[in-house]
Amino acid sequence: MPPLTPPTRRTALGLLSAGIAAGLGACAKPAEELVPYVVQPERLLPGVPVRYATALSLGGWARGVHAIAVDGRPIKIEGNPLHPASLGATDVFAEAAILDLYDPDRSRTATERATGIAAWAMAERALAAPLAQARREHGSGLRLLTGRVTSPTQIRQIAALLTALPEARWHVHEPLDDANALRGADLAFGRRYRALPDPGRAETILCVGADPLGPGPDQIRFSRAFMERRRDPAQFGRLYVAETALTQSGVKADARHALAPRDAAGLLAAIANGLGAGLPVPDLPAETARFAHAAAADLTRADGRALVLVGEAHAPELHALGHWINDRLKAPVAYRPPDDPAPADLAALAADLDRGAVSCLAILGCNPVHTAPADLALAERIGRAGFSIHAGTHGDETAGVTHWHLPLAHELESWSDLRAPDGTASLVQPLVRPLYGGRSVHEILALLAGEPASAGHDIVRATWRDRGGDDFEGWWRRALHDGVIPDSATAPVDPGPARIPTLPGRAPVTGLAVELRPDPCLYDGRYANNAWLQECPKPVSKQVWGNALALSATEAARRGLASGDVVRLGMDGRAIEAVVAIESGVADRAGALTLGYGRPRAGAIGNGIGADGYRLATAASPRLLAGVSVEQLDRRDEVLRTQNYTQIEGETRKLFRQIALADLQDAKPEGIGGERPTLLAPWSGDADGHAWAMVIDTQACIGCNACVVACQSENNVPVVGPEEIARGRMMHWLRVDLYDSGTPDSVNAGFQPVPCMHCEHAPCEPVCPVAASVHDGEGLNLQVYNRCVGTRFCEANCPYKVRRFNFFGYADGQPYATMGAESVKAQHNPNVTVRARGVMEKCTYCIQRIANARQEAERDGRPMGAVATACQSACPTRAIQFGDLARPGDPVLALRRDPRHYALMEELNTRPRTTYLADLRAPNPDLGGRT
């Protein structure tokens, strides 16, 4: 290497002065431009949010939402109060869908496997020949593979296609489907009825492996009805949960039992025998038998108001027995008729592919190569199709094995329709033109059917034309405005008496039984490239950026494993590597792993994170693996969590107040400690007379994280990435803490959402040297970003640990992975400042919503109405109530006088504005009780 030539003195000075000049020039204000419309849409106000009613799907089922757009940019999702599967609330997946829309990893063009980027016209030409051949042969080689379809338009299109080409077949693969439940209904009633339980009418509920309060398309409806009933202590009832590993339902249970999967049949048989089933007496562990006995007694007592729910992981026979028990108990369950036309399943497609019977395979909007059970070896089998196309929003694993990949438009970009689990239909309307040139699934189906190219809008309208009657335009506008189509729910049917199934024999213990569960953040893996969901702490384990094999401490000790050890899980010659996490409440000789991780082609955010459970699943038992071998590897990996890196011994009962139902009548409300002596002047309101406060009902909180992601979406909260999380840094303004006052074997846990307390005597304020942390007259504890110099004294002095520091420019300048892309910036809420590096931030009680409400009231000269924070409007169980202490009759005033009321760490004399209602449980004295 030649020696570096040093610059001469003159050059060095020249460079220095040029640098200074350039630096000074950069200080000038950047020139900004104002770009008005050419033709302005009527009634559109610049910068003012507009709400559109639409629907988003989860596993094919609709959740009605209001999508909020500012100047044509969708920025936020809220629930649609008129929709039966939303009821005005959302879940994590709906909240995070807005980020998916802007995902820079979405596919932007049609691509051909060999030649790469292509135009839509080329894809159409390539499709013409195989389609023409299929048409000549009445569709004999044509196969259509979709996820669950509830869209009436899509069903109409597929039915028309199958009528025109009678030899063609339609297959459905939904990774987290209800196949076992439907087969169970077939065994019990002779038809595949879909059961929709009504927890609002059920006093005693027993879940055997079921997690109805956990992630899924029915989560909002179920948890709302369940918690609304529980608001009345007289109707509190009791929830029994027997499950492999702790779920959200397990946390909320009044009696919970860690049940080995192989004992589920025995538990259900014991319950059924209590109702006169006369099944062979099962051989159960003593604890399980005691649990079964107590549950059976309670269920029988609540005849007509009792309900049994069986988890999807369990065999169809168990579901059939569940149906029989519900029939006997006259349980509040509505049955809905099976789908029509009934599609074939994935195994049939695999067989057809093996026979070489598939000349043209079209995969629409699903990713079977990742989500199909591994023994179907779909990646290899799809290669046997003569011609294959895949339409999806991302160039995912399936796109990697088909001949063509077509970009699919996002649900917020396309016209469609969807049904809720109760059959209620909604119209799906676009908020923006497709950002990346995608087409809707209806437009692609029209292409496959060889119909002239027509817009999705016309295809959807054609479906509903007859329904609208004479005034179709009026009907259509009404349906679009409301977000639901009136009277479109399917009427429940009477399935007739249920039969008792023959139960399978009790499997012998071989290896570890692993339950594969829906991930509370990624669902089935479709949201793997969503950074908000990757960084959303899982409700129970609080793990982020990955999944882990949950084992009990006993099981781990037996196998010589510690938390963080990497193990190889083997099954039928296939193996995956997963990290071990020791969790409370996991059954003996069992483990649990969530699905959706370990994706090789998710995108820049989701690639290669965690372990892929699908690689062990089999078509026969896709969700429950018996006899998994566990081999310890000589490697350790970190389980990233946002809680539990500090243990608070003995404080749980003080921080998380729990009351047994029987003690409720003696309970007294605990105040915020306003009577304690203090050196500070008491808080006095201002002339405007608002005093904002929040009360959070920990009894109603199901830990679903909808509030956490809603806050992130509303307040431009950045993602920090796994490396920063490993350093103990996170940015969520609202976290949901899990408290467990039980033991690892007997969990007694609950959820506590913790936003800023907006203390009247806030410890963060006097320590700030630059007065960046100040109070306003309405009682808000403000953080003034442009004053903050980043000393972090406030964070150190905050006893609730709710302040978050921008160690780097997470939102601005140094974003994680693709989070700084121009398209992602379009999601930002224009009414909230994007915080810079070196600045402290925290929950503001959604000050922008308060300010907007105030300014609108001021503008119109009327008193200010109620304000809903983002977390409050997202909450499925209405656990969060925000209001004004100075307004007579405000709901928060009544909640502050509730006997369960208490404040967090009121002994510190902080006088928090955010307060809590204690957790309420109804333990069964026969099971020793809890709390």
Q: Which of 9, 25, 26, 29 binds other proteins (CB under 8 A)?
A: 29
Residues 280, 284, 288: CA angle, nearest 5 degrees: 125
**Site for other proteins, residues 801 to 840, rule: CB under 8 A:** 831-834
State the DSSP string of 323-335: HHHHHHTT--EEE
Are β-strands 749-754 and 773-775 bridged in parallel, bridged antiparallel, or unpaired? unpaired
User: Is the distance from CB of 359 to CB of 141 less than 8 angstroms?
Assistant: yes
Tell me the backbone φ, ψ of residue 749, rounded to 5 degrees: -115, 170
Task: Match 């509920």 to its residue by tokens.
Answer: 205
Name which of 102 and 692 has its Cβ closer to other proteins: 692
Contacts of 341 (CB under 8 A, 6+ apart): 155, 158, 159, 162, 170
* Span of 42-50, 561-569, 593-601, 813-821 interacting with other proteins by CB under 8 A: 42-50
Asked whether position 25 contacts other proteins by CB under 8 A, the answer is no
Name which of 43 and 668 has its Cβ closer to other proteins: 43
- Min CB(695)–other proteins separation in Å: 22
The site map against other proteins for 212-251 (x = CB under 8 A) is: ----------------------------------------
User: Is the distance from CB of 712 to CB of 890 less than 8 angstroms?
Assistant: no
Distances (CA, A) of 40 to 35, 412, 869: 12, 22, 31
Name which of 52 and 785 has its Cβ closer to other proteins: 785
d(CA 388, CA 318): 38
Asked whether position 38 contacts other proteins by CB under 8 A, the answer is yes
Name which of 431 and 788 has its Cβ closer to other proteins: 788
Name which of 193 and 845 has its Cβ closer to other proteins: 845
Name which of 283 and 860 has its Cβ closer to other proteins: 860
Burial 525-542 (b: 16+ CB within 10 A, else e): bbbbbbbbbbbbbbbbbb
- The DSSP element (H or E) to which 536 belongs, if any, is none
* Span of 24-32, 448-456, 554-562, 651-659 interacting with other proteins by CB under 8 A: 24-32
- Min CB(854)–other proteins separation in Å: 9
Name which of 132 and 771 has its Cβ closer to other proteins: 771
Name which of 715 and 909 has its Cβ closer to other proteins: 715
Look up residue 139 and give its two tokens: 């569709």
The site map against other proteins for 45-74 (x = CB under 8 A) is: xxxx--------------------------
User: Is the distance from CB of 72 to CB of 46 less than 8 angstroms?
Assistant: no
Look up residue 683 and give its two tokens: 């808080």
Asked whether position 23 contacts other proteins by CB under 8 A, the answer is no
What's 306's DSSP letter? E
- Min CB(669)–other proteins separation in Å: 30
* Span of 74-82, 116-124, 342-350, 781-789 interacting with other proteins by CB under 8 A: 781-789
User: Is the distance from CB of 141 to CB of 135 less than 8 angstroms?
Assistant: no
Q: How many CA atoms lie within 13 Å of 391's alpha carbon, on the beta-carbon side?
A: 26
Asked whether position 580 contacts other proteins by CB under 8 A, the answer is no
- Min CB(693)–other proteins separation in Å: 16
Asked whether position 377 contacts other proteins by CB under 8 A, the answer is no
Name which of 132 and 857 has its Cβ closer to other proteins: 857
Burial 335-364 (b: 16+ CB within 10 A, else e): bbeeeeeebbebbebbebbeeebbbbbbbb
Tell me the backbone φ, ψ of residue 357, rounded to 5 degrees: -90, 0
d(CA 784, CA 762): 15
Q: Which of 774, 821, 853, 893 binds other proteins (CB under 8 A)?
A: 774
Q: Which of 346, 425, 484, 847 binds other proteins (CB under 8 A)?
A: 847
- Min CB(861)–other proteins separation in Å: 7
Asked whether position 861 contacts other proteins by CB under 8 A, the answer is yes
Asked whether position 35 contacts other proteins by CB under 8 A, the answer is yes
Name which of 300 and 848 has its Cβ closer to other proteins: 848
Q: Which of 1, 22, 26, 39 binds other proteins (CB under 8 A)?
A: 39
**Site for other proteins, residues 650 to 679, rule: CB under 8 A:** none
Name which of 830 and 891 has its Cβ closer to other proteins: 830
Q: Which of 3, 6, 36, 452 binds other proteins (CB under 8 A)?
A: 36
Asked whether position 711 contacts other proteins by CB under 8 A, the answer is no
Asked whether position 469 contacts other proteins by CB under 8 A, the answer is no
User: Is the distance from CB of 738 to CB of 847 less than 8 angstroms?
Assistant: no
Name which of 17 and 37 has its Cβ closer to other proteins: 37
d(CA 806, CA 863): 38
Q: Which of 786, 822, 889, 925 binds other proteins (CB under 8 A)?
A: 786
* Span of 401-409, 775-783, 873-881, 895-903 interacting with other proteins by CB under 8 A: 775-783
| Interhelix angle 441-448/120-136, nearest 10 degrees | 50
3-state secondary structure of 164: helix
Q: Which of 380, 651, 663, 688 binds other proteins (CB under 8 A)?
A: 688
* Span of 37-45, 87-95, 396-404, 819-827 interacting with other proteins by CB under 8 A: 37-45
- Min CB(46)–other proteins separation in Å: 5
Contacts of 671 (CB under 8 A, 6+ apart): 896, 901, 903, 906
Name which of 10 and 859 has its Cβ closer to other proteins: 859
State the DSSP string of 130-160: HHHHHHHTTTTTEEEEES----HHHHHHHHH
Q: Which of 727, 801, 858, 865 binds other proteins (CB under 8 A)?
A: 858
d(CA 76, CA 66): 8
If 0-12 CB within 10 Å is exposed, 13-18 middle and 19+ buried, where does residue 186 land? middle
Are β-strands 238-243 and 204-208 bridged in parallel, bridged antiparallel, or unpaired? parallel
Asked whether position 865 contacts other proteins by CB under 8 A, the answer is no
Interface with other proteins by CB under 8 A: which residues? 29, 31-40, 45-48, 686-688, 774, 776-778, 780, 782, 784-786, 831-834, 844, 847-848, 851, 855, 858-861
